[in-house]
A and B are shown apart, each in its own frame.
Chain A
Amino acid sequence: MKRLVLIPLILAAAVFDACGRDQTTARNETPAAVPQAGAAASRRLFAMLPAANQVQGWTVSRAPQSYTADNLWEAIDGAADGFVAYGVQEVVTANYKQAGTGNEAAVEIYQMKDALNAYGKYSEERNTDYRFIDVGNEAYSGGTSLNFWKGAYYVKITSFQPNDALAQEMVKLARSVAAKVSETGTEPPELSYFPKPNQIPHTSRYLPKDVLGQTYFTNGFEARYKAGTKESRLVLIVLDTPARAQEAIARYRQSVSKDGKNTRDVPTPGEGGFAGKDRFYGTLAAVRHGKHIVVALGTVDEETARKQLAQIADNIK
């Protein structure tokens, strides 16, 4: 009897859970910009894979497979969790062989929750040492990989020991996939707030949660900077409301200054915040600007940190 009473409650809770999401994470919990995983999505995704000889000489050597967030680990083991964090919807993979050369390549197409998360996962894995090439919205090639993002899709082409010729073939395969993605998507507008001077190219990224290892920091953007030999980072967290941001920065200050002694108030920019020394990052300054929190870590000195924070705060306006 107790179980029968629980049934509608459990299911009702399921419905309400779906409807009443915590507003803090609203941005990363909005309905997917692309259809949910299922038979229709699979067909569409499969159609994005290069068809036989679409790129001359390349044919499928292993039947395409599809995965959802639930079983993606079967394809990529523990790395699957990282994709789940960015809202992976469905994945298709296929292996290809090129006639006459023996070249082989694997193509993986990750349909992410939306363009923001496709960019996010791409930027998380992006290696700044690699060669950046013109595919999709942005792409790089190096080692065994060619990765790019476009729209809500993150695409990875892999080949072991590619020589220059094979690397070029991988570009052709990548472009054949990119051509089938109609929606382009754009980099998050928040990245335009970051000051350009001394920014290390290709280091910007999006983090949906646990920004700076803090559970109350969600929806974050980051870029790295270099002045002389000193590297630093700038982090922008966009929370749902100014009140949440105020609470979050207070918690962050508490986390950083465990003994209460190594931070002090800074009145500006924005609504102000605190500055001090972090045990790991060194110089640290954090301010709130409405619902935004900006953190500068590891700058050469506090003055540099405050200048960067002021620049971002001005750009947010």
Chain B
Amino acid sequence: MNEKTSRREFLATPLRCVTAAGLLGAIVPSLLAQSRGSRSAKILTRTLGKTRISLPIVGLGFMNADAPDLIQHAYEIGMRHVDTAAFYQNGRNEEIVGATIKKMGVRDSVVIGTKVYLRGVGVSARDPQARTAFRQVAEASLKRLQMDHVDILSYHSVDSAEDLRAEGPLQALAEFKKEGKTRFIGVSTHQGAVVLPEAVRLGLFDVGLVPINYTMASNKALLDAIDQAAKAGMGIVAMKTQAGGLSRPDRALPKVLPPHSQTALLKWVLQHESIATAIPGVTAHDQLDQNITVASSLEYTADEKEFLGDRALLAQAQFCQQCGQCRPDCPHGVDIPTLMRSHMYAVQYANLDLARSTLACLETSKGMTPCASCPSCKAVCRNDVNIAAKITQLVSSRRLLAL
């Protein structure tokens, strides 16, 4: 999404996407057709790239959960994709998923995705033991899941093109696919702008899992990488869509979020047609009930429009990326990135102690002292953060920060 998109254009975007999603949803999803007891409300589906799996646009990110009946609940309301990983809860997460799917008897009706995190067993991607380690972890996952295969086996948390190319994990993944222990191969990454293009180039990955949420609205490189990967046939699964959720919102968002923020944030992600499905993390039943409403409609409510159209929120969502490019702009050599971080702690985290201790680490000449003598801040952020406003807030809060 172009950061210059006007509010009108931004909110108008969903209409085009809903139309496209509606066309895809006209294909009766095979998974939902096999369901028992699913809700009758129409659920939007999209195709997961070249896997040709038609999935509801909202699935279940189970990684932090431990209540097995959440999986049953998710299934009953129409979700058909459960994501877990070997590393979550030291393997217990997979155990819960496996036992529950087995108890429910719905293995053939759901898509199970799990992931192998090599660093979790002390092995790096290019280590000579990487292939062996990958296989061992994946075999242990199948055992915990009580399954002879998963639908998507992903290479977990790959953050460089070099690691993605590493022979060991690629070999292991290809072997697993050949052996029928996974139907499809995926990669999960926090560096989508770098890793997805490499995944496309390698041509080996069927699915890509990437964090994408509203705080990344101006990350053109990531959004372009997602679009290109989708065009190349990779099924894109969106993670971390809720920007931390209500209990711990992303540092780029205000500390207190209204409840309708969660559906707004999820809808915002799914406006992007390149994203086949999202797997927001869930730990409670009412989160599932809230998420499934998005699977039925991507139209914003009035509250959601107001939340996403809030210019103050948008400004706060533009957080300092600590690149330091603004520092030369300041005639006094103030350590602007650290001031921005302190602002984040004070305002967005409401953690005045941390804000104070962050400022305390600065030499006097590099902190807020020179700022008080400047009529206005001359620093310009290359990523559109309003430095002047945030420094004004900090300066005016010196009493609260006991400085």
A residues less than 8 Å from B393 (CB atoms)? 7, 10-11
The B252-266 residues at the A interface (CB cut-off 8 A) are 255-256
Contact A82 B89 (CB under 8 A): yes
The stretch of A13-21, A43-51, A190-198, A302-310 in contact with B is A13-21
Interface string of B87-99 (1 = CB under 8 A from A): 1111110000000
Chain A positions 123 through 161: 1 when the CB is less than 8 Å from some CB of chain B, otherwise 0: 011110000000000000001110100000000001111
Report the Cα distance A78→B240, complex, angstroms.
9
Given contacts A8-B396, A15-B400, contact A82 B63 (CB under 8 A): yes
Distance in angstroms from B307 CB to nearest chain A CB is 17
Q: Which of A3, A15, A159 contacts B389 (CB 8 A)?
A: A3
**Complex partner residue of B285 from A37, A75, A213, CB under 8 angstroms:** A213
A10-B347, A77-B190 known; A255-B285 Cβ under 8 A = yes
Q: Is A261 an interface residue (CB 8 A)?
A: no
Tell me which of A11, A81, A82 contacts B346 (CB under 8 A). Answer: A11
In the complex, are the beta carbons of B121 and A210 less than 8 A apart?
no
CB neighbors of A among B174-200 (8 A): 188, 190
Q: List residues of B (42-91) whose CB comes within 8 Å of A's CBs.
A: 63-70, 72-73, 85, 87-91
Give Cα A279 to B353, complex, Å: 47
Contact yes or no, B67 A213, CB < 8 A: yes
B372 interface hit (Cβ, 8 Å): no
Q: What B residues does A106 contact at CB under 8 A?
A: 122
A104 engages B68 (CB within 8 Å): no
Are A14 and B255 in touch, CB under 8 angstroms?
yes
Say how far A270's CB is from chain B's closest CB, in angstroms.
23
Interface string of B270-301 (1 = CB under 8 A from A): 00000000000101111100000000000000
A215, B284: Cβ atoms closer than 8 Å: yes
Residues of B within 8 A of A255 (CB): 285
Q: Which of B234-272 contact A (CB under 8 A)?
A: 239-240, 247-248, 251, 255-256
Q: A15-B400, A213-B69 known; A77 and B350 CB under 8 Å?
A: no
Complex contact B122–A159 (CB within 8 A): yes
CB within 8 Å of B: which A237-268 residues = 255
Residues A144 and B121 in contact, CB atoms below 8 Å apart: yes
Residues of B close to A75: CB separation below 8 A = 119
Q: In whole angstroms, what is the CA distance A7 to B65 when docked?
A: 37
Residues of the B chain whose Cβ atoms lie less than 8 Å from the Cβ of A212: 67, 69
Q: How far is the CA of A13 from the CA of B256 in the complex (A)?
A: 10
Contact of A158 among B69, B122, B312, B392 (CB under 8 A): B122
Task: Tell me the bound Cα distance from A215 to B286 in angstroms.
Answer: 8
Cβ of B114 under 8 Å from chain A: no
In the bound complex, residues from chain A placing their C-beta under 8 Å from that of B281 are 78, 81
* Interface residue from A11, A37, A38, A160 paired with B400 (Cβ < 8 Å): A11
**A232 CB → nearest B CB, Å:** 13
Asked if B342 is at the interface of the complex by the 8 Å CB criterion, the answer is: no
Query: What's the least CB distance linking B336 to chain A, in Å?
Result: 18
Nearest CB in chain A: distance from B8 CB, A: 22
User: Does B357 reach chain A (CB closer than 8 Å)?
Assistant: yes
Name the contact of B91 in the complex, choosing from A18, A70, A127 (C-beta under 8 A): A127
User: Is residue A84 within 8 Å, beta carbon to beta carbon, of the partner chain?
Assistant: yes
Asked if B396 contacts A17 (CB within 8 A), the reply is no
Partner of A4, one of B136, B247, B392: B392
B88 & A78 in contact (Cβ 8 Å cutoff): yes
Q: Is A236 an interface residue (CB 8 A)?
A: no
Partner of B72, one of A82, A207, A279: A279
With a cutoff of 8 Å between Cβ atoms, the chain A residues found around residue B66 in the complex are 124, 207
B120 touches A73 (CB 8 A): no
Mask of B352-370 contacts with A, CB within 8 angstroms, 1/0: 1110010001000000000
Give the complex CA separation of A40 and B183 in angstroms: 49
Check: B123 CB closer than 8 A to any chain A CB.
yes
The B375-399 residues at the A interface (CB cut-off 8 A) are 389, 392-393, 396-397
What B residues does A12 contact at CB under 8 A? 400
A126 to B90, CA, bound (A): 8
Given known contacts A6-B312, A14-B352, A213-B283, what 12 new A-B pairs fall within 8 Å (CB)? A7-B392, A17-B256, A18-B350, A37-B354, A78-B85, A125-B90, A158-B120, A210-B284, A212-B67, A213-B284, A215-B284, A215-B286
- A residues in contact (CB < 8 Å) with B: 3-4, 6-8, 10-15, 17-18, 36-39, 70, 73, 75-79, 81-82, 84-85, 95, 104-106, 124-127, 143-145, 147, 158-161, 207, 209-210, 212-215, 255, 278-281
B contacts, CB < 8 Å to A: 63-70, 72-73, 85, 87-92, 117, 119-123, 129, 132-133, 136, 140, 156-157, 188, 190, 239-240, 247-248, 251, 255-256, 281, 283-287, 312, 346-347, 350-354, 357, 361, 389, 392-393, 396-397, 400
28 contacts between A and B (CB under 8 A): A10-B393, A11-B347, A11-B397, A11-B400, A13-B350, A17-B256, A18-B350, A36-B357, A38-B354, A75-B119, A77-B157, A79-B63, A81-B63, A81-B281, A85-B283, A106-B122, A124-B89, A126-B90, A127-B90, A127-B92, A144-B122, A160-B121, A161-B132, A210-B67, A214-B284, A214-B285, A255-B285, A280-B68
- 8 A-B pairs with least C-beta separation: A213-B67, A125-B90, A14-B350, A280-B69, A77-B157, A210-B283, A210-B284, A106-B122
